[in-house]
Structure 1
């Protein structure tokens, strides 16, 4: 008999329900009240030297004085209209007696540099000289860049002489080195340029090496130049300089860069590994003709793989066929060949041949990663063909052979789910519980908790159902299935909870202790803040990313805020996703409010809300959809030609524009946020109406198309929409729907007043 106890999550659920109800405010704190050691500001200014302390104080004054410069500086640097120039200049003159004035002149200088008005840029930078103690490296390097535009090598050499000694910690040391050496070579001293660059070869960088080779060539030292060009071509094949080196060598008489077999093989393998398939094919095609017989099968399988990836499938198949029958080839090579042959058979829908190849792999290399790959591909193939029995057998074989294999957690979940869909209740229960016990840290553990709870409900064992839903909510706070689990708890009540032993396997994902506040005495952080006030965002990001060893959380927070201030919301979101990967398992008060707001931003909110409500859509759902589609990048352009915030195809945009009587519509207007929102919300509304208001179907159709969604619904007998979502055969579409539904809940919690 399960122990019955009061559901401790009830108070949390009450807050959650109140927070997401329209018109209810104040349910979510706007900032964390919880204070931890990590949130206390650090005051270590005493560690700074007197010079550094003076610099910090100067930057503090500049930061405070220039707080209102950012909007006009951003407009100037982004668009550079005449009125913006005039506005920033007026600001500079108004603030000529404080630190904001020189910063404004620096903005003007950089804007004129971007407009290639180098003479005026130099004049403006001269007026920014008061910043020399704190941003001297910026002023010197940017002046040198102006002189480069004027082809004034003498002035470049003068201003950059001793740059590295003067500014040893500058982020411009590398670029200044290249510019100084180029000026030396251009002024008739290539030997000096080469000697200067030789001192800067560590760590190895392709651009330094290429500049050094050019200097040696200009100095007449052809042998040294040739050696460097060849090394660039073979050892750094992914760099732009590698292709340029090949051009230089060709001009010197080498049609193909000379290199050893080992060098050529290393280059080809690196190209293949980094998905440069066309280039890899070209390299391997000659290698296989000249390679030693002992390593020929390994070369051939790499070549065949490159051909397959480069969509030269017939050529690849011939080579894989030969390799699969080559008794001199290793078992690993033959297994790889069999895997790709199975993929070719799958592509051609040759089921008998596919089955034969899987059997051969099972006999030849049952423990090979290629066999695991083949089993996974086979399971996916039969799932797409709606053959659930066959699909679950292949998925089951993966984890039965290797419980802790790379694909085992996912395959175990797919087998569990397909048993559930096939009505094999006992097997499904066992597999759901195994998923929790064997793979408690897997992404699918939340799925198993929810559906095991649903099965307990179906068996009228409500205490056990509540236990699964409670654990789901505790461990996976804002995951898609945790939100669904709380909905079920609201329906079946909060009291009388069982204690299934398997739940003891689960440990909260949680978040490690974080230091969210940057050190107050970090000069780079303060410099980044000053540069951000000047809307010099790229420079500001580089400064804050160089502000500490490793990647402390405060660095990501600062970087994301700079990106958000610049309007690059997508880059802010991605920065924080990498820094806090488990944020969906955190309570709202575990992360600072700015972190949540930059993870779930609301740009264009008034237009978004207006067009959503005009189409009877939930604005938070639309915001969540946009976050998934473009991450609020209005210039987003996909490989499928989808455009703008809501990623509309031109044909869709044209059709919607006609419906709303938007005259003179052109495709480029899809990059205009207000127009994209107007047309996108109307398009999404049509889909919602098509599915009688069921947004999960509409979201799936928005991603995969209405025809596919209609086919999936028709081919299966789903008990409810949750079964449909989990059964979507396209991983991308399934995760897309779940993410948007999940994110909409967080939007409502974060912004309860709308």
Structure 2
């Protein structure tokens, strides 16, 4: 019995994020009820349990466990580390004031500790969300004095930029951007600082200054991730100045180099297909050494098994499990092959296809997003339609349509939300405790269930895909009605909450939707809106334009469909 207690306890503190932990807890409770001695966790075990939850992004449980750990007797080094992780967990949970209190105590008690720089950076992030300029300036000055060359100082400068811009203190924002660029030219934030300077000029109507900064950014950083963004807004500037011919040339460059990006989709939505010819390939392609060659998709677009897998015993087990309909077991076997064959893109595409066929849309999508990011962004090398079906999963579309109670909600929007919220993982749990396909918070789920007259709601029911979609879609419709049918506001509110978006809308003075998105103060929400809209465009392309199985999209004209080859 003592050995069993030891093993069950080890599961609980080493693997608290795994499903088996719940069974271990039940077994320990049963042993205790039988009179077996179950000693409490040591301070070290408790700390390791908290760190495991933190690494698994289970921040709510991690914060609670770190607090329990800090109530125990700890060596000073572990106590400092526990406070750091507690503070970060609270930031991730958006509990800004509580996080600042934790960091304040840590920095006062251990100002010279190894984690002080990191603590200062996170303290600054929380201070930004609280709108506390004094604290932001203190964080930057402290980092500048103690750690002038560390990346944490670049972040502190960026927090100041964000604060000043939110308060329309443009000159101070530009000054902080320039200091960041000069002090940290190789940091990725320097590129974003260039972008913000150009954007501030754009907002103020200073077109020549904006164009100059955008050109500086492209000249300084040839491969910048901001390239599609800069090209799009450069073209918009040229349009405003009346140079439509040059603007169209810039738009062409954007879509030639970044054909499937959010900004190219926005270009097509604005200009239609007369300017830009869309091509979605049909037929056979293969990948060898990263280059497309003829063909490992056969003439019927069926995926051929790579030769290297035919002699792999683990793949053979996976195939046998698939043949006897042991899908979950087959998925596990296929997933273990991914890391082994990571350098072989042909095998990775094949494994993604097999996982998709088994209904493991999340596992298939994870492979594609991890190993084929450039293809998703640029559209090259050309891929058959099957690849895009896996990148923007279609397997749940029929179910989504059946679950929608309102004809005001577009099923493509729901699919896009699912893709970006959970990557189609019905078991997903966010750092804030949101659950399932549409990442519904338990309190939101309870409220919606009440509105729908669903009795006996329990948070665990959010793992049921159909109920999760039903509740999430109802809430999405509620937001759409609240924001009078505006899709951009609705998507932003699904991420940041309706109160924040209402404030941004009131501040925006009926600005252009593209401009509204760029000026969303929360970078997480700004990027989220762009990702969801990009997915929405892709779903319309694949579903409406290519297969045409569903009603027309509500927020995108059928005329936006590409020419298919």
TM-score normalised over the length of structure 2: 0.70
Match of 1:466 in 2: 248
The structure-2 alpha-carbon separation of the partners of 1:418 and 1:528, relative to structure 1 and needing over 3 Å to count, comes to: same
User: Number of residue pairs matched?
Assistant: 484
Q: Within 2, Cα distance between the matches of 1:613 and 1:239?
A: 40
Match of 1:720 in 2: 512
Q: Within 1, Cα distance between the matches of 2:478 and 2:180?
A: 42
Structure 1 residue ranges without an equivalent (≥5) = 1-184, 187-209, 212-231, 259-263, 292-298, 496-510
Match of 2:291 in 1: 513
The structure-2 alpha-carbon separation of the partners of 1:636 and 1:577, relative to structure 1 and needing over 3 Å to count, comes to: same
What is the Cα-based RMSD across aligned positions, in Å? 4.7
> 1:412·1:435 contact (CA, 8 Å) conserved in 2?
yes
> 2:404·2:473 contact (CA, 8 Å) conserved in 1?
yes
> 2:84·2:106 contact (CA, 8 Å) conserved in 1?
no
Q: Give the alignment partner of residue 489 of structure 2, picking from 678, 694, 697.
A: 697
Which of the two has higher C-alpha Rg?
1
Q: Give the alignment partner of residue 438 of structure 2, picking from 636, 642, 646.
A: 646
Q: Within 2, Cα distance between the matches of 1:345 and 1:689?
A: 33
The structure-2 alpha-carbon separation of the partners of 1:584 and 1:339, relative to structure 1 and needing over 3 Å to count, comes to: closer
Q: Which moved more, 1:622-631 or 1:353-362?
A: 353-362
Where relative contact order (Cα < 8 A, 6+ residues apart) is larger, the structure is 1
**Tell me, what secondary structure is at the counterpart of 2:511?**
coil
> 2:319·2:330 contact (CA, 8 Å) conserved in 1?
yes
Q: Which moved more, 1:608-617 or 1:595-604?
A: 608-617
Match of 1:523 in 2: 312
The structure-2 alpha-carbon separation of the partners of 1:746 and 1:354, relative to structure 1 and needing over 3 Å to count, comes to: closer
The residue correspondences of 1:129-140 to structure 2 (distance < 5 A) are: none
Q: CA offsets per residue over residues 343-365 of structure 1, 9 Å max, x none?
A: 67657655335324423433554
> 2:88·2:122 contact (CA, 8 Å) conserved in 1?
no
The structure-2 alpha-carbon separation of the partners of 1:528 and 1:348, relative to structure 1 and needing over 3 Å to count, comes to: closer
Q: Within 2, Cα distance between the matches of 1:567 and 1:447?
A: 35
- The offset of 1:746, in angstroms, is 1.6
> 2:100·2:127 contact (CA, 8 Å) conserved in 1?
no
Q: Within 2, Cα distance between the matches of 1:470 and 1:347?
A: 39
Does residue 422 in structure 1 map to residue 200 in structure 2? no
Q: Which moved more, 1:557-566 or 1:277-286?
A: 277-286
- The offset of 1:604, in angstroms, is 3.4
Does residue 585 in structure 1 map to residue 377 in structure 2? yes
Q: Which moved more, 1:479-488 or 1:581-590?
A: 581-590
Match of 1:597 in 2: 389
Does residue 632 in structure 1 map to residue 424 in structure 2? yes
Match of 2:499 in 1: 707
Does residue 433 in structure 1 map to residue 215 in structure 2? yes
The structure-2 alpha-carbon separation of the partners of 1:350 and 1:686, relative to structure 1 and needing over 3 Å to count, comes to: closer
The residue correspondences of 1:141-540 to structure 2 (distance < 5 A) are: 286-288=74-76, 305-306=84-85, 308-309=87-88, 314=101, 316-321=103-108, 324=111, 339=121, 342=124, 350-384=132-166, 387-490=169-272, 512-513=290-291, 518-519=306-307, 521-524=310-313, 525-540=315-330
- The offset of 1:419, in angstroms, is 3.0
Q: Within 2, Cα distance between the matches of 1:436 and 1:447?
A: 11
Match of 1:152 in 2: none
> 2:416·2:533 contact (CA, 8 Å) conserved in 1?
yes
Q: CA offsets per residue over residues 397-439 of structure 1, 9 Å max, x none?
A: 2223222114222333233323322333333212222232223
**Tell me, what secondary structure is at the counterpart of 1:407?**
helix
Q: Within 1, Cα distance between the matches of 2:446 and 2:109?
A: 52
- The offset of 1:486, in angstroms, is 2.5
- The offset of 1:587, in angstroms, is 3.5
Structure 2 residue ranges without an equivalent (≥5) = 29-36, 91-98, 278-288, 297-304, 550-565
Q: Within 2, Cα distance between the matches of 1:618 and 1:347?
A: 33
The structure-2 alpha-carbon separation of the partners of 1:684 and 1:521, relative to structure 1 and needing over 3 Å to count, comes to: closer
Match of 2:560 in 1: none
> 2:83·2:103 contact (CA, 8 Å) conserved in 1?
yes
Q: CA offsets per residue over residues 263-292 of structure 1, 9 Å max, x none?
A: x9x999x9899597866976997544xx9x
> 2:232·2:251 contact (CA, 8 Å) conserved in 1?
yes
**Tell me, what secondary structure is at the counterpart of 2:325?**
coil
Q: Within 2, Cα distance between the matches of 1:314 and 1:701?
A: 28
TM-score normalised over the length of structure 1: 0.54
**Tell me, what secondary structure is at the counterpart of 1:403?**
coil
The structure-2 alpha-carbon separation of the partners of 1:314 and 1:493, relative to structure 1 and needing over 3 Å to count, comes to: closer
Q: Within 1, Cα distance between the matches of 2:144 and 2:311?
A: 59
Q: Within 2, Cα distance between the matches of 1:257 and 1:572?
A: 40
**Tell me, what secondary structure is at the counterpart of 2:525?**
helix
> 1:453·1:466 contact (CA, 8 Å) conserved in 2?
yes
